[in-house]
Amino acid sequence: MGSIVFNVIKNIGSRLPTVHLVAVSICVVIIGITLMLVPSEKVSATRGDRPESGTLQQDTVKLELKLDEETDTELLPTLQDERLPSDATSSEANEQPEDPTVTQVPAEPVENWVDYKVTSGDNLSTLFKRAGLTALDVHQVIQATKDNKALSRIYPGETLSFLIEGGELKKLKHIVSPLKQVLLERDGDSYRTESLEREPSIQHQFAQGTIENSLFLDGSRAGMSNNTIMQLAAIFGWDIDFALDIRKGDTFRVIYEEKMLDGENIGTGNIVAAEFVNQGNVFRALRFTDSKGNTSYYTPDGNSMRKAFLRTPVDFARISSPFNLSRKHPVLNKIRAHKGVDYAAGTGTPIKAAGDGKIIFRGVKGGYGNVIILQHGQGITTLYAHMSRFKKGLSVGSRVQQGQLIGYVGSSGLATGPHLHYEFRINGAHKNPMTVKLPHADPVPKSERAAFQSVSQTLLAQLDKYASTQVALAE
> Smaller CB distance to Zn ion: residue 115 or 342?
342
Select from 241, 412, 436 the least CA-distant residue to 339.
436
> Smaller CB distance to Zn ion: residue 13 or 433?
433
Interaction between residue 386 and Zn ion (CB under 5 A):
no
230-249 positions binding Zn ion, by CB under 5 A: none
> Smaller CB distance to Zn ion: residue 250 or 342?
342
Q: Which stretch binds Zn ion (CB under 5 A): 134-142, 268-276, 338-346, 464-472?
A: 338-346
CB of 436 to Zn ion, least distance (A): 16
Exposed, middle or buried: residue 141 (CB in 10 Å: 0-12, 13-18, 19+)?
Answer: buried
CB of 382 to Zn ion, least distance (A): 14
Residue nearest to Zn ion (CB): 421
> Smaller CB distance to Zn ion: residue 275 or 342?
342
CB of 338 to Zn ion, least distance (A): 6
Positive/negative CA dihedral, 120, 121, 125, 126: negative
Interaction between residue 250 and Zn ion (CB under 5 A):
no
268-307 positions binding Zn ion, by CB under 5 A: none
> Smaller CB distance to Zn ion: residue 284 or 421?
421
> Smaller CB distance to Zn ion: residue 272 or 345?
345
96-135 positions binding Zn ion, by CB under 5 A: none
> Smaller CB distance to Zn ion: residue 307 or 421?
421
Q: Cα–chain-centroid distance for residue 307?
A: 23
CB of 404 to Zn ion, least distance (A): 22
CB of 322 to Zn ion, least distance (A): 10
Distance CA 86, CA 161 (A): 10
> Smaller CB distance to Zn ion: residue 36 or 332?
332
| Strand 389-390, strand 429-431: pairing | unpaired
Q: Please, which residues have CB within 8 angstroms of residue 449's CB and are 6 or more apart in sequence?
A: 302
Polymer length of the chain: 475
Q: Which stretch binds Zn ion (CB under 5 A): 264-272, 337-345, 388-396, 403-411?
A: 337-345
CB of 340 to Zn ion, least distance (A): 5
Distance CA 171, CA 73 (A): 33
CB of 400 to Zn ion, least distance (A): 22
Q: Which stretch binds Zn ion (CB under 5 A): 101-109, 234-242, 342-350, 391-399?
A: 342-350
Q: What are the CB-based long-range contacts (under 8 Å, 24+) for 1-4?
A: 1/32, 1/35, 1/36, 1/43, 4/32, 4/35, 4/43, 4/46, 4/47
> Smaller CB distance to Zn ion: residue 158 or 342?
342
CB of 346 to Zn ion, least distance (A): 17
Q: Alpha-carbon Rg of the chain, whole angstroms?
A: 30
> Smaller CB distance to Zn ion: residue 268 or 411?
411
CB of 390 to Zn ion, least distance (A): 19
Instruction: Kindly determine how many residues on this chain lie close enough to bind Zn ion according to the rule CB under 5 A.
Output: 2
407-426 positions binding Zn ion, by CB under 5 A: 421
CB of 342 to Zn ion, least distance (A): 4
CB of 355 to Zn ion, least distance (A): 20
Say how many C-beta atoms besides its own lie within 10 A of residue 268's C-beta. Answer: 17
CB of 437 to Zn ion, least distance (A): 22
Distance CA 99, CA 10 (A): 16
**Contact yes or no for 12/28 (Cβ under 8 A):** yes
Select from 128, 113, 87 the least CA-distant residue to 173.
113
How would DSSP label each residue in 316-377? S-EEEE--BTTPBPTTT-SB--B-SEEEE--TT-EEE-SSSEEEEEEEE-GGG-EEEEEE-S
Select from 140, 121, 225 the least CA-distant residue to 184.
140
How would DSSP label each residue in 384-400? EEEESEEPTT--TT-EE
What phi and psi, each to the nearest 5 degrees, are found at residue 40?
A: -65, -25
> Smaller CB distance to Zn ion: residue 310 or 444?
310
Q: Which stretch binds Zn ion (CB under 5 A): 31-39, 231-239, 334-342, 370-378?
A: 334-342
How would DSSP label each residue in 114-133? EEEE--TT--HHHHHHHTT-
> Smaller CB distance to Zn ion: residue 15 or 421?
421
Interaction between residue 342 and Zn ion (CB under 5 A):
yes
Residues that bind Zn ion (CB under 5 A): 342, 421
